[in-house]
Amino acid sequence: MSDTFNRRHVGQAATPDEYGGRRPRPPLRVPLPPTDRPAQTLPGPSDWTFDLIDQYHAVIRATAERFSLDTYPNQLEIITAEQMMDAYASVGMPVNYRHWSYGKEFISTEKNYRRGQMGLAYEIVINSNPCISYLMEENTMAMQALVIAHAAYGHNSFFKGNYLFRMWTDAGSIVDYLVYAKNYVAACEERHGVDAVELLLDSCHALMNYGVDRYRRPGKLSLTQELERAKDREAYAQQQVNEIWRTLPPKSGKDAGEKEQARFPADPQENLLYFIEKNAPLLEPWQREIVRIVRKIAQYFYPQRQTQVMNEGWATFWHHHLLNTMYDDGYLEDGIMIEWLKSHTNVVFQPPVDHPAYSGMNPYALGFAMYSDIKRICEAPTDEDRYWFPDIAGRDWLETLDHAMRNFKDESFIGQYLSPRVMRNFRLFSIVDDEVDPTLEVSAIHDEAGYRSLREAMSRQYDLGSREPNIQVWSVNLRGDRSLMLRHTQHNERPLHDNAYEVLKHVARLWGFPVHLESVGSLGNVSRRWTVDPSTA
């Protein structure tokens, strides 16, 4: 038995030996040698069978072990296209509570799929222990092999290794927790009516991105504990709310020292849902619990939103590397190779900016290019690489890559590893769009003078903190109308979208009293103000 520590209030990153002995194996410095060459390649028909998947999986697993990819146990599941759309619709999770927005998602996915406008993703992989990968029935054998390598070894090892996932998610209990959430929401619907629950969930979803702790690891989720504690928590939370009600005139003399009412909350709070869960005066206990459920699920997805490039890049790099190694070792037929390579090429295609299909950077392409380039820098560094990456040029690539996967998120990963060669290959350039300037300015391109600022700009682009408006709970008017004040701190003078008013209605619904939102510019000037009164919202 290993001891567990409660680090919630320490605010420090997890050490490798925490969390149920999930101590990573030390990475290998060099890959293990291949086993004996097989007499013949694996059969390569286009239709898969369970037997074939087993054979391929065994080889892929053996190959992955040569590179010491550390994964959760794998659970492969064969599903139909319709089930894939189901999973799509409920944010990729095997179970989830019922909500109309998932229905909407399902309907539009289904429609697009039926009309052939959109191919479904070949795979969905769930950050759970065991790690569940969905293989779609319609895939060919080559695609199944690609998916297994990509999801069951690439993503899986990323989930297990990356520090954000280790810190913020509990792979072992997420499915249990979702089952709990689903049942709880269903019970609430039964008791309080579908409409009431729907309204509440709508409001919570509107604030989902503001329901995450950014600097403290939340407690572990476990079905049994959660059930046990839910009741206590409801009762206790309800008592705590009375803080806001406690506006009776203080007994004379006794509280004289506290005459100057302290600000509430003492410091601005960035986790709006948490603040609402704990402090909203009018919420019923069951409503608090639902707010909590949405918050917990938002927290679970928080690392995924921060590691798109790294995660997809890592999985793409490894399916590419594993399958190529298998080919070199004599396991794969040419036909299988051609088929998955074609699909791989589509996935890592980066349309240029003037291409009709352009819609921003393709995380698969960027991530794949970066990991591949790190490997190249380790194995065959040029003078430029020695200058830019003195600490990794010429080192063992496996170890370096492992380090790069474990200890970064998109923002820092790009800041650290985006090499001049990758920038040149993508022909990156940055554009400054300033409101006060009638034209756009090209601020940097892929040349000696521009590398650093390009890299910084790219890194900022993946910073969630600057992608999402910074909105925090500023104060609650305890003495007066109990109104809640939110404050938006502008970043580079960027204003809020007009949606803000709609979202504010949701906040007001949860808070139960008037809600104000101020947008504050860089000079501390309030540039815009919204107010919603729940009685009119």
Partner 1 sequence: MQQIIDRRLAGKNKSIGNRERFLRRHKEQIREAVRRAVEGRGIRDIAQGEDIHIPRRDISEPVFGHGQGGKREMVHPGNKDFVRGDRIERPKGGQGGSGQASDAGGGEDDFVFHLSKEEFMQVFFDDLALPNLIRTTLADTPEYKTHRAGFSSDGTPNNLHVVRSMRGAIGRRIALGSESRRELHRLEDLLVELRAQPVSAERLHEIEQLETDIAALRARIDRIPYLDPIDLRYRSRVRTPVPTAKAVMFCVMDVSGSMDEARKDLAKRFFILLYLFLTRHYEKIDIVFIRHHTQAQEVDEHDFFHATETGGTVVSSALVLMEEIIRARYPRNEWNVYGAQASDGDNWHDDSPRCRQLLEHGILPLCRYFAYIQVVEQEQNLWHEYASLAEASDTFAMRKASEVDQIYPVFRDLFRKEGAAK
Q: How far apart are CA 206 and CA 505, in angstroms?
A: 10
Cα 242 to its chain centre, rounded Å, is: 35
Torsion sign across C-alpha atoms 169, 217, 316, 379: negative
Q: Nearest distance from residue 416's CB to partner 1, in Å?
A: 16
User: Which of 127/400 has CB closer to partner 1?
Assistant: 127
Strands laid side by side in the 484-489 sheet: 470-476, 484-489, 515-520, 526-532
Interacting residues with partner 1 between 62 and 91 (CB under 8 A): 73-80, 82-83, 85-86, 89-90
Shortest approach of partner 1 to residue 115 CB, angstroms?
Answer: 10
Least Å from the CB of residue 385 to partner 1: 21
429 binds partner 1 (CB under 8 A): yes
Residues within window 369-428 making contact with partner 1, judged by CB under 8 A: 426-428
Three-class secondary structure assignment of 208-246: HHHCCCCCCCCCCCCHHHHHHHHHHHHHHHHHHHHHHHC
Q: In angstroms, give the least distance from the CB of 165 to partner 1.
A: 21
Establish how many alpha carbons lie within 13 A of residue 342's alpha carbon, considering only the half-sphere containing its beta carbon.
7
Nearer to partner 1, 376 or 460 (CB): 460
Choices 22-30, 201-209, 217-225, 281-289 (CB under 8 A): range interacting with partner 1? 201-209
Task: Report the residue number, 228 or 441, with the smaller CB distance to partner 1.
Answer: 441
**Residue 40: how many CB atoms within 10 A of its CB?**
9
Cβ proximity to partner 1: between 182 and 233 the closer is 182
Residue closer to partner 1, measured from CB, 393 or 444: 444
- Which member of 33, 251, 435, 524 binds partner 1 (CB under 8 A)? 435
> By C-beta, is 328 or 434 nearer to partner 1?
434
Nearer to partner 1, 190 or 441 (CB): 441
Among 447, 452, 465, 526, binds partner 1 (CB under 8 A): 447
Min CB(2)–partner 1 separation in Å: 23
Instruction: Name the residue nearer to partner 1 (CB basis): 80 or 225.
Output: 80
Residues 494 to 533 in contact with partner 1, rule: CB under 8 A: 494-500, 502-503, 506
Contacts of partner 1 in 22-61 (CB under 8 A): 50, 53-54, 57, 61
The one-letter amino acid at 197: V
Q: Counting contacts by CB under 8 A, is residue 357 touching partner 1?
A: no
Beta-sheet pairing, 526-532 with 515-520: antiparallel
Tell which phi-psi region holds residue 474, choosing left (phi > 0), alpha (psi between -120 and 50) or beta. alpha
Interaction residues for partner 1, span 141-200 (CB under 8 A) = 194, 198
- By CB under 8 A, the residues from 452 to 471 that bind partner 1 are 454, 457-458, 460-461, 468-469, 471
Cβ proximity to partner 1, 77 vs 190, nearer residue: 77
> Do residues 315 and 155 touch, judged by C-beta distance below 8 A?
yes
Cβ atoms of residues 156 and 124 within 8 Å:
no
For the segment 337-356, give every residue that binds partner 1 (CB under 8 A). Answer: 350-355
Residue 78: DSSP 8-state:
E
Token pair in block for residue 370: 């970066």
Question: Does the footprint of partner 1 cover residue 205 (CB under 8 A)?
Answer: yes
Which range in 233-241, 263-271, 274-282, 493-501 contacts partner 1 by CB under 8 A?
A: 493-501
Q: Please tell me what DSSP assigns to residue 516.
A: E
> Residue 383 and residue 363: Cα distance in Å, rounded?
28
Site for partner 1 in 91-110 (CB under 8 A): 98-104, 106-108
Site for partner 1 in 259-318 (CB under 8 A): none
Under rule CB under 8 A, how many of the chain's residues touch partner 1?
95
**CB neighbours of residue 173 within 10 Å:** 19
Q: How far is the CB of 236 from partner 1 (least distance, A)?
A: 30
361 touching partner 1, by CB under 8 A: yes
Whichever of 210 and 368 has its CB closer to partner 1, that residue is 210
> What is the crossing angle of helices 363-379 and 410-417, to 10°?
40
C-alpha to C-alpha distance for 107 and 160, rounded to whole angstroms: 33
Contacts of 166 (CB under 8 A, 6+ apart): 14, 19, 22, 160
Q: Cα separation of 394 and 115, whole Å?
A: 51
Question: Residue 116 or residue 352: which is nearer to partner 1 going by CB?
Answer: 352
Closer by beta carbon to partner 1, 208 or else 282: 208
- Pairwise CA distance, residues 327 & 109, whole Å: 36
Helix (H, G, I), strand (E, B) or coil at 74: strand
Say how far apart CA 171 and CA 128 lie, in whole Å: 4
Q: Is 432 one of the binding residues for partner 1 (CB under 8 A)?
A: yes
- Min dist CB 514 to partner 1, Å, is 18
Task: Select the residue interacting with partner 1 from 190, 434, 481, 533 (CB under 8 A).
Answer: 434
How far is CA 285 from its chain centroid? 29
**How many CB atoms are closer than 10 A to CB 516?**
19
The residue type at 152 = A
Per rule CB under 8 A, is residue 113 in the interface with partner 1?
no
Rounded least distance, CB 396 to partner 1, Å: 28
Kindly tell me which of 398 and 503 has the beta carbon lying closer to partner 1: 503
